[in-house]
Amino acid sequence: MSWDHVWIDVNLATMDPNNSAAYGAITDAAIAVKDGKIAWLGPRKELPDFDVFSMPVYRGRGGWITPGLIDAHTHLVFAGSRANEFEMRLEGASYEDIARAGGGIISTVNACRKAEESELFELGRQRLNALAKEGVTTVEIKSGYGLDTETEVKLLKVARELGRNHHVDVKTTFLGAHAIPPEYKDDVEGYVDLVVNNMLPKVIEQGLADAADVFCENIAFNLAQTEKVLTAAQQAGLDIKLHAEQLSNMGGSALAAKLGAKSVDHIEYLDEDGVKALAASGTCATLLPGAYYFLRETQMPPIELLRKHQVPIVVASDFNPGSSPICSTLLMLNMACTLFRLTPEEALKGITANAAKALGIEEKVGVLAQGMQADFCLWDITTPAQLAYSYGVNPCKDVVKNGVLVHQ
Ligand code: DI6
Ligand code: FE
């Protein structure tokens, strides 16, 4: 056998649904890489003969290999910090006080409008590095802190540039309809027109987005406005997804499902009809425990219903300066289990196989199987549940991206 490299003395959490063991596990296994792909994997005793001197043979010291982690929902390109607002709130200020003082999402928009591309790139690079150190190999990045054409384009350009300059793959999402900018506060329809007729064509023309998203909420865009943006984006060839049912049940999830969205995200207030709509369309349900935690929410997403109707559950960081300033996909595993009562296996599936589905890349990544892209991590753990159980000492030992060992 001629491979590029091979790993032995490892256990595999393949997350492959064709393997019925918990985590799709193969213990005392080996995995071989050739031309960026997984060329062979299985129990070590079945490893075909190969010339040990012709290629690197890595020993995993009994650790576990998982697919590279996928964070399917982040807003990681932004400037400024909202730590002062955090402090103000802990000293008793309300969200409205802060908004009136020019804070909240608009303070991040102001900072992003002012920021140079190079500054946004550097901030994004540091955040991407933090995720990569914990085993993330693919990340989704949204715009949405520009709310004017120039800045939305700038944020997406930076996200694309990050993808070109980092081993982590970046999928970009146009979120022009994230909030209503102050200039349009009395003309939401006018802003939706700007998003559809000005921003979207520019974003498409420059190939800056893979998908589009909207914040469907009573403090943001209503159902009709959401439908307008998502339909236009879909006609322009983008995948669609939605911030839905975070603070109230607006019916956004059912709408997104009807349109064939890849995922609906947050969904704390989703009801059974909404869950059934997701099941019928194969739309993923993305849980964002970081935002639930940071906003001290108490309305739990409908986990039991998602299980009952077999909706693919995704877990993501929602990393952003306002509602989830936590730049760790790995910590989300722990939060998904402690706050939402997912099992560690469900949580891990949510940042691997199901996260790949939410981004439409499940044919390439998200599970360990022959022919898949060789994106995987070696962890210094004795059972996969350890990834969700403990946090703080980073157990990520090695990352292989596209078949190349990138971090040791
Ligand atoms: N939902 C959220 O929780 C964030 N965006 C969204 O659509 C909040 C973003 C922020 O406060 O900056
Ligand atoms: Fe978000």
Instruction: Read off the pLDDT of residues 176-210 as tens digits, 9 standing for 90 and up.
Output: 999 999 999 999 999 999 999 999 999 999 999 99
Ligand 1 — pocket residues by CB below 6 A? 105, 108, 178, 215, 243, 246, 291, 320-323
Please give the structure tokens belonging to residue 128. 């991407």
For residue 73, the ligand closest to its alpha carbon is 2
Residue nearest (by alpha carbon) to ligand 1 atom 7: 215
Residues 6+ apart with CB under 8 A from 12: 24, 25, 26, 27, 29, 31, 41, 64, 65, 368
Q: 97-132 burial string, b = 16+ CB within 10 Å, else e?
A: ebeeeebbbbbbbbbbbebeeeebbebbbebbeebb
At 147 the pLDDT is: 98
Please check if 269 is assigned to a binding site: no
pTM above 0.95, yes or no: yes
Ligand 1 closest atom vs CA 178:
7
Q: Which of 362, 290, 380, 345 is nearest to 70 (CA)?
A: 362
Please give the structure tokens belonging to residue 303. 């986990």
At 100 the pLDDT is: 75
Please check if 243 is assigned to a binding site: yes
For residue 214, the ligand closest to its alpha carbon is 1
Question: Is beta strand 396-401 parallel, antiparallel or unpaired with respect to 404-407?
Answer: antiparallel
Q: How far apart are CA 202 and CA 354, in angstroms?
A: 31
At 408 the pLDDT is: 58
For the chain, 408 residues long, give each residue's pLDDT as a single digit of tens. Answer: 789 999 999 999 999 999 999 999 999 999 999 999 999 999 999 999 888 788 999 999 999 999 999 999 999 999 999 999 999 999 998 877 887 777 899 999 999 999 999 999 999 999 999 999 999 999 999 999 999 999 999 999 999 999 999 999 999 999 999 999 999 999 999 999 999 999 999 999 999 999 999 999 998 999 999 999 999 999 999 999 999 999 999 999 999 999 999 999 999 999 999 999 999 999 999 999 999 999 999 999 999 999 999 999 999 999 999 999 999 999 999 999 999 999 999 999 999 999 999 999 999 999 999 999 999 999 999 999 999 999 999 999 999 999 999 975
Give tens-digit pLDDT for 113-164. Answer: 999 999 999 999 999 999 999 999 999 999 999 999 999 999 999 999 999 9
Asked whether the beta carbons of 171 and 210 are under 8 A apart, the reply is: yes
* The residue to which tokens 């989704």 are assigned: 140
Please give the structure tokens belonging to residue 250. 């607006």
What residues flank ion ligand 2 with Cβ within 5 A?
318
At 220 the pLDDT is: 93
Distance 66 CA to ligand 2 centre (A): 26
